[in-house]
Structure 1
Amino acid sequence: MPKGLLISAPASGTGKTTVTLGLLAALRAQGVAVQPFKSGPDYIDPAFHSAASGRASFNLDSWAMPQSLLFDLRAQAEGAELILAEGSMGLFDGVSQPGETGSGASADIATLMGWPVVLVIDVSGQAQSAAAVALGFAKLRPDLPFAGVVLNRVASPRHEALVRAGMEAAGITVFGALPRNPDITLPERHLGLVQAEENPELAAMLDRAAQFISTHLDIAALVAASASAPAPSLPQPQTPPPGQRIALARDTAFSFVYPHLIAGWRAGGATILPFSPLADEGPDDSAHCCWLPGGYPELHAGKLASAAVFRRKIRAFAQTRPVHGECGGYMAMGAALVDKDGTRHEMAGLLGLVTSYEKRKMHLGYRHATLAHPIPGHAPGTKLRGHEFHYSTILEQPDAPLAETRDATGATVPETGSLRRNPQGGMATGTYFHLIGHAT
């Protein structure tokens, strides 16, 4: 198994994604096979990792995933020469009550996997004081492997020299210093970065990032600092597919599905049959079930409302077979979606759900759901782990609740999901939370 590093930071917005992408692209340009991972529940960053590295990136989540699944996913690095994982938020940021393996913090993943942490520190507005930040992060958890720091947003050579002096006095290794560089800024929208597949300038940006990182960081020293812990002997995790032939909505409106779920379904013998609602396509009639992932239906509500073939075919499909939607897919299965301007758009009508973006409210956090009714691949009573992240609000939800849902603290969450059964044996189900896995 190759050695690895985890790129993290004291907080969000400090530049760890830029460093990760630049390193992935620079190492790939050098002919090094690098396996990327993303700590935490994030759909968007892994697609950028894959574009930069040429290898599929997988999420690792210590709150939602048991150790068996985490180490099974690490095995995706077979054949690579180095592992590079990107953290989420701040290094130690997680929930107050641990889940399957930890709190969801990136530090949990680094410690479990034995990947030394490279901390990206925004040093703007400080000099030697940055060493106190680095030292605190290096020492807070004695079991955490810590490699050193990358200095970001350095104002001048004099500024860099002062920061380096503080780090040297504290015994902290500095792998390089990055000046501000607006040429590699990635565009954002309300759920994070604009998706990789929607960015026509992505290849050029990755080239610039690779050159930027190669110029300012000691890549050889970073690679030399990598390490890895041996995998314990654990039972193989099981990811039951929702059906043997799965019609999967897949386009820029429906793209938020975890790679480990797709890989698990395929390992279970399932065949994935992608289709595009935005191209007015319906689910393949040979499929046993249909799955609508999350994404951005609110940005394409008018086009979805005019997709008559999609609506007709998915309604017919749901008469005799199960259809399940997550977040954006759930909203698209509803009766209507109200966009940010207050315009109401007709959706598929498999459920009575009506959602709105006219008054935005953030819903964010881990979710632990106990199913009251089945969804494809999971029986009633199954305990599922996932997360919720959206800005829409529910105006109408007339159907039966699908699950009892709680947050990471155990508090009840009102978004229970919905269920509607059809007389011919079909069933429509949906949830606001994105499935990561089932609880052990």
Structure 2
Amino acid sequence: MPEFFPFFIILLAAVLFSSLFERVRVPWVAALIVGGIIVGPYGFGLFEPDSTITFLAHVGLVFLMFMAGLETRFFESQGVKYKIAVVAAFSALIPAAVGAGVGLLFGYSPAAVILLGVIFMASSVALLVPSFQKMGLFDSVLGKTIIGSTVIVDSAALILLSVLLQIQGTTSFLHIFLFYPFLLVTLLALAWLIPRIRWALFSNYAEEQDLFERELRFVLLILVGLVVFFEFVGLHAIIAGFFAGLVLSRSIQSRILKAKLHAISYGFFIPVFFVTLGANTNIGVFWEVSGALVLTLAVLVSSMGAKFGSGFAAGKLVGFTNRESALLGAATAPSLSTTLAVAFLGFGQGIIDGGLLAAIVALSVTTSIVAPLTVGVLGRTLTSQRV
């Protein structure tokens, strides 16, 4: 087999399936995962992820979390902080408890139980941002509440994941109770230092004339450097990628530079991750392993129910109407980027098995299709009522 053939198949699947599924309004992430399942070793067997493909997938995962951190804004929700805090608390605690309960019910290890709780917490409101913008809800109180609370919950999920990995075993030279204060001080110091280094290097440099992408290389150097540094002190690469994005989010304001980072991430590395994730998903466990289908149904029903119920209850508590609360609950249901990143990491670390990974992938694909449709219907109803 030619050396570049697996790489070609991955790119072909990324282009072909995203285009085909777009015609039936299926999100591109779900399309890439399904494409990976079809062309991978558990489908038609056109390729099998080798060490090189696996490395590129890990790079894609780091870029995915880096872009999530880069696009995170903690201080742009003035006036709705109380609503955000209440919704975030409900959307984190209730799904986490339900997820942990499912893990206990099916006899998983304590680490897997905690990981499943983290997975149930995570959401992916970015999938719904275009719909919010189209319906005029993005800058509304409801829109700010949904987006702000989701950012907080996803960040909390990643921090809990890092704590779990620290407890499981780490190369950190610090005790866990010293590690996070050290991490916080380091992040604050880097957030102060990096913009000044960038200004010193590029303050007199017109980015329109940056033919050799000097500034882009600088940002990539900082990203990889921060990931390596955080790994040295005991933080996993995907958590490091997220924190690197947070550190750089305040200093990277250029639309041109952000567009270049977006092109590199979503044009190449991130699709490789999602296709490889699909290729590593053995859907055969649904009929090969006893109880796998029951586990998948339990994960689907409990996660979607917990997300919708907690969102609806929180919405009512902070004064939203029934329809607004229902939209809030539906908007927290998607389980994509953070969920899949956590699941992929848990599977790689041996915390969860193939059956649970397949169930989580099924959850991601299902919610990425159902949630936008539900939000679209509820959003159009709200918009028509306001008119």
Q: TM-score, normalised by structure 2?
A: 0.23
| Greater strand fraction, Structure 1 or Structure 2 | 1
Bigger CA radius of gyration: 1
Greater relative CO (CA pairs within 8 A, separation 6+) = 2
| Greater helix fraction, Structure 1 or Structure 2 | 2
Q: TM-score, normalised by structure 1?
A: 0.21
